[in-house]
Structure 1
Amino acid sequence: MKHHVLALSLSLPLMGVALAAPQANAFSIAGHLDGEQAFKDLGVETPWAAESRIGIEGAGDYEIDIHNSDFSDVTHQQFSWVNGQAYDFSLSFDGSELIYNVAGVTVSKTVTQSNFSDLLIRTTARQTGNSAEVRNLFLNGVEISQTSFFQCQDASGCDFWNSSQYLHISDVSGPFTLTGTSIFSWEGKRPTRSNLAYQIKLVEGGDSQPVPEPASLLGLGLIVAGASQLKRRRSR
């Protein structure tokens, strides 16, 4: 009988991990949005965003930052971008704090939001021949096979409305860590400010505790039933 008790006690935490894992990693790829009008038509608000961009050298411009929707609250660091070089980055959220790291340079921000439901990865390039790319993406350790990439191919440059692509990740819940690689490439004169940039825009979500899925409820029911059966056997 003791062996049965030990086996059940060891199986309970393992079953709990197995049941919780799909919820922790759950998200959906909603696809791409081309241009700012498509993003506007989505009709979402993004209270916070993590951003990388090329500022004016020596001017103290923000180049790696976390900012709110109207840029009235910006936490930033400077960064020396190299044309065509790949940089690893991560954006993590623990339920109260956003931490953004690019190649060892980190900014963080404590926010009032407890959950984010959508991540919109926006790449922007406004000068002819320039491009911004975000690739090698993983969310909570799960690979995202798609990228966000925009290259300005207009001979006269690209205006605000036609200079971006968004990769839309939806159905995010709870704490998360997004990792990836970014590349800025430019031709001729070094771009400045938002003429070459990428952002990870965050849409506020609801309750950070997801409702258990039917399979999870069934698994929990089996655990409770097994424990009750064991109790009856011991009382005989």
Structure 2
Amino acid sequence: MDSSDRKVWEQEQRRIRIVDMAEAVFFKYGYDGATLPAIAEAAGYNKRTLYLYFKDKEDLFLAVVLRGLEGLRAALKDALDKAGAIGGGLRELAGAFFTFSVDHPLYLDLIMIYESRYFVYHGGTACTDPDSHRESCQQVSETIASLVTAAIAVGMDAGRVRNDLTPQQLMLILWGQIVGVMKILHMRREHFDAAFGISREGLFDRFVEMIERGLRP
């Protein structure tokens, strides 16, 4: 590795460390509670170093969110690939979302903040920088929505899913339902079995069965 390659490598390692430390701070304090000085201190740098790699707190937050979105996209894509075209993949998508949410609940929290503040679903002001973290998050979010919408369309074409709504409309309803259920399951995770007489996994399975019945033509 020559000197120029080493410099590029060191810069990338420094950028990764900053995102790692920012992730821990955002996980602990949320978006509003996190500060650039706290992130710089956690990373062992000063604020000036952070500005060499990120424009502001928003940019750094979106770099962290992008990790979560990419992880969720990969999990959903893997679930669909394993399901194949025959089943449509909706149950597999639900299972993948459950596993991701249980394994990475703090990522889910940040993704919800991102969706409420930055995601452009129609009209609005889109990002003009194709290389920005905001644009990358937008693209991954749209890919996730497209994966679910396409799976719904497969079910409709096969006559297994009701078609009185468009695939996009049904996707929005299902997204709201599953996110809401997972947020509640996370909030009630302590002593869940004793309190409700069922495991979180078991209750989620019953929820999916109810959704499947409601989707039938």
TM-score bracket relative to the smaller structure: under 0.3
Report which of the two has the higher share of helix. Answer: 2
Comparing both chains, which one has the higher relative contact order based on Cα–Cα distances under 8 Å and sequence gaps of 6 or more?
1
TM-score (norm 1): 0.18
Report which of the two has the higher share of strand. Answer: 1
Larger radius of gyration: 1
